Amino acid sequence: MVGREDVVSVLVLIQAGAGLLAMFGELLFMGNPLYLVVPVAKAAVLFVLAAKVVGRRRWALIALLTFEGLSVLGVSASTLVGLLPGLDRTMTLTGLLTEVGIPLVVIVYCAQLLAAWSSAPARPSEPTTIAVDPWAEVAR
């Protein structure tokens, strides 16, 4: 099935947009532009990774796997901290989609792509060049 990297790319772009939106919730609350830095940097990195995955860069897949793994770890940490008496953890329908659904799909697809690219190391997106001896015809 082709197009797996394109699916990953669009899902990551959705995550980038959702991350930028989440930034406003903190920016308005804290009123300090310092809170722009990490979310904007994260969105920029995701934007680049989305492009590089479609360009079949192996490092981009590994970076995305790491990022999504950390995201899932963050959700797990929130759930654990939410077990404390004074705190709780709210899971919303959209939260399930953006914090659990999309990261898991991206992890599965990235792992599948990584396995597929490992078994076929040449990058099919680039034209295959065959070394040709220009003097062979002359010598013949």
Partner 1 sequence: MNPVQTLLAGIAPDHVPALLAVLLLPLLPVLLRRLTGGLSARPAERSPASGNLVDRWAAALLAVSCAVHLALPLGHHDSPLLTVGFLGSGIAYGWLALRAREGKRWRLGTVLLVVATLVGYLVVVGAAGEEPDQVGIATALVELAALGFALVPLRTPARPRRAARFWGSAGTVTAVVVVGAVIWVGSFLAHRANPAAASPAAGAAPVVGLDHEHAHEHAARAQAGVIMRPLGANDHATAAQQQAAAELAAATKQATARYADLNAALAAGYRLPPVKSTGPDVHLENKAFAKDGRTLDPARPEMLVYAIDGGRATLLGVVFVMEVAGAPGPAPGGPGTRWHAHNLCVSLLPPGLGIVSPYGGCPAFSLNLTSGEMMHVWVVDNPGGPFAEGLDAAWVRGYHATHGLAVAGGTGG
Interacting residues toward partner 1 by CB under 8 A:
1-4, 6-7, 9-11, 13-14, 16-32, 34-35, 38-39, 42-43, 47, 50-51, 54-55, 74-75, 77-78, 81-82, 84-99, 124-127
Work out how close the CB of 139 gets to partner 1 at its nearest, in angstroms, rounded to a whole number.
33
| Cα(64)–Cα(122) distance, integer angstroms | 21
| Cα(57)–Cα(61) distance, integer angstroms | 7
Region for 132 from its dihedrals, namely left if φ exceeds 0, alpha if ψ lies in -120 to 50, beta otherwise? beta
User: Are residues 13 and 107 in contact, defined by beta-carbon separation less than 8 angstroms?
Assistant: no
Compare residues 73 and 136 and give the one whose CB is closer to partner 1.
73
Compare residues 32 and 137 and give the one whose CB is closer to partner 1.
32
Tell me the two tokens of residue 119. 């078994």
User: Are residues 71 and 19 in contact, defined by beta-carbon separation less than 8 angstroms?
Assistant: no
Work out how close the CB of 29 gets to partner 1 at its nearest, in angstroms, rounded to a whole number.
5
Work out how close the CB of 113 gets to partner 1 at its nearest, in angstroms, rounded to a whole number.
11
Compare residues 7 and 65 and give the one whose CB is closer to partner 1.
7
Work out how close the CB of 104 gets to partner 1 at its nearest, in angstroms, rounded to a whole number.
15
| Cα(85)–Cα(92) distance, integer angstroms | 20
